[in-house]
Amino acid sequence: MNRRKFIKSGSLFFAAGTLSSFDFPDAPTYEFNDKVEGPVILSTWIHGLEANRAAWNVLAKGGSALDATVAGAMHTESDLTNRSVGIGGRPDRAGHVTLDACVMDGDGRSGSVGFLEGIAHPAAVAKAVMEKTPHAMLVGAGAKQFALDHGFETIKTPIPEVKKDYLAWKKENKDLFKPPKINHENHDTIGLIARDAKGNFGGTCTTSGWAYKMPGRLGDSPIIGAGLFVDNEVGAATATGLGEAIIRVAGSAIVVELMRIGMKPSEACKEVVLRIIRKNKDLTGLQCGFIAMDKEGNVGGFSVYNGFNFALKSSLRDEMVDADFDRKW
Ligand code: ASP
């Protein structure tokens, strides 16, 4: 029996953002069919299920893969209950919620924002950076000014529930530049990759990053080649987990390059995860996961530890898939 399980999304069991398929040992299991026909979207984690449906509204009308992934990302960015993406995200050690995002299309065009505070949709701003500037990346005050100049919605962060948690955390954590604890529960980006009806690929990655990170820290999520990589000649990949480890192996770009030389998406994701494992002597709490899809419609994912899953949506399918992994917690 294949270790991966499909959990039908129509199930009563799901409450987005709270549960993973690991919580339901009795859920129906299916052999994983890695190949998907037609338009398809994959997204990291359980919040991907709802995000995929928002993205599908674009794909089903013949919209582009890039626009679909941005629509999906915006859905998650608006979710007040999500503590790792958008408005509900957790702050850095100084109490600032700083958002990171990037987008890429299959022709190699990309845009990215980092350290963006007080703006509702960093994914949409990243797309505007791609379309309206000669640059690939804007960060901090410049990114914010750009967003304001282009009329992007503003938000007040942290939201009250998150601020309350932060103030409690701060009582125990007074040093602004002490390295944050590695804890697999304090990060969970959404990365979305899609193929549209024309066969073009696009992707978006958006996050509030590692909770209680040092001020100024950027992870992999806004970095093209680390958190996301897309190439119509091959396919697409995106990442989640400890961004530092993903940046150091240029994770998503390498997944795509391994698919270019013939690996299936799951094999390519596994190879990069094994590389991360080899290069990090201490794997305590180091969770990283990748998902990928190729031109033929093969899809897959792999993570360091168990517990990583991704959402898959096509015209026939709408479900969570447990990624394969190297080891158990
Ligand atoms: N990769 C993100 C970061 O390092 C966080 C995550 O995916 O959990 O900022």
189 Cβ below 6 A of ligand 1: yes
| Distance from C-alpha of 251 to C-alpha of 258, rounded to nearest angstrom | 11
Query: What DSSP line would sit under 248-270, residue for residue?
Result: HTTHHHHHHHHHHTT--HHHHHH
What integer pLDDT is reported at residue 173 of this predicted model? 84
Residues 237-252 as b or e (16 or more Cβ within 10 Å = b): bbbbbbbbbbbebbbb
Whether residue 209 has its Cβ less than 6 Å from ligand 1: yes
Q: How many residues does the chain have?
A: 329
Atom of ligand 1 nearest to the CA of 44: 7
Q: What's phi and psi for 161, nearest 5 deg?
A: -60, -40
Domain presence at residue 15 = no
Residue linked to tokens 């820290």: 217
Judge whether 13 lies within some domain.
no
CA of 261 relative to ligand 1 center, distance in Å: 27
72 lines ligand 1 (CB under 6 A): no
- For residue 270, the domain's CATH number is 3.60.20.30
Residue 181 makes CB contacts below 8 A (sequence gap 6+) with 285
β-strands 6-8, 318-322: how paired?
antiparallel
- Taking the centre of ligand 1 as the mean of its atom positions, its distance from the CA of residue 73, in whole angstroms, is 15
Q: Report how far ligand 1's centroid is from the alpha carbon of 288 (Å).
A: 9
With a 6 Å cutoff on the Cβ, whether 210 touches ligand 1 is yes
Is 14 within the bounds of a domain? no
Contact assessment for residue 255 and residue 272, using Cβ atoms and an 8 Å cutoff: yes
pLDDT tens-digit readout, 244-299 = 999 999 999 999 999 999 999 999 999 999 999 999 998 887 899 999 999 999 99
* Domain membership of residue 268 as a residue range: 35-325
Active-site residue 157, yes or no? Answer: no
Q: Look at the chain and report how many structural domains it folds into.
A: 1
At residue 16 the predicted structure's pLDDT band, cuts being 50, 70 and 90, is very low
Contact 44 CB / ligand 1 (< 6 Å): no
* The pair of three-digit structure tokens given for residue 225, joined into one six-digit string: 């080649």
DSSP annotation of 293 reads E
Q: Measure 198 CA to ligand 1 centroid, in angstroms.
A: 31
Residue type, 34: D
pLDDT digits (tens, 9 = 90+) for 300-316: 999 999 999 999 999 99
- Whether 270 and 325 have beta carbons less than 8 Å apart is answered as no
Which one of 240, 291, 310 would you pick to mutate in the ligand 1 pocket, going by the greatest count of ligand atoms within 8 A of its CB?
Answer: 240
Instruction: Provide the pLDDT confidence category of residue 329 given band limits of 50, 70 and 90.
Output: confident
- Phi first, then psi, for residue 231 (nearest 5°) are -155, 115
One-letter identity of residue 151: G
Looking from the CA of residue 217, the nearest atom of ligand 1 is: 9
Looking at residue 56, what is its pLDDT?
98
Query: In this structure, is residue 215 part of a structural domain?
Result: yes
Any domain includes 275: yes
- 23 part of a folded domain: no
Q: Which residue has the tokens 């505070």?
A: 117
Give residue-wise pLDDT tens across range 145-191.
999 999 999 999 999 999 999 999 999 887 776 666 555 555 589 99
What is residue 48's three-state secondary structure? helix
Q: Is 221 in the pocket of ligand 1 (CB under 6 A)?
A: yes
Residue 3 forms part of a structural domain: no
Three-state secondary-structure class, residue 87? helix
**Strand intervals (E) in 95-227:** 99-105, 110-116, 137-139, 190-195, 201-207
Is residue 25 situated within a structural domain? Answer: no
Could you tell me if the CB of 294 is within 6 A of ligand 1?
no
Is it the case that residue 110 has pLDDT exceeding 90?
yes
| Ligand 1 centroid – CA 187 distance (Å) | 5
Q: What percent of the chain has pLDDT over 90?
A: 81
Distance 220 CA to ligand 1 centre (A): 7
Catalytic site residue from 98, 157, 189, 206: 189
For 215-317, where are the E strands, in sequence order? 228-231, 235-241, 288-294, 299-305, 309-314
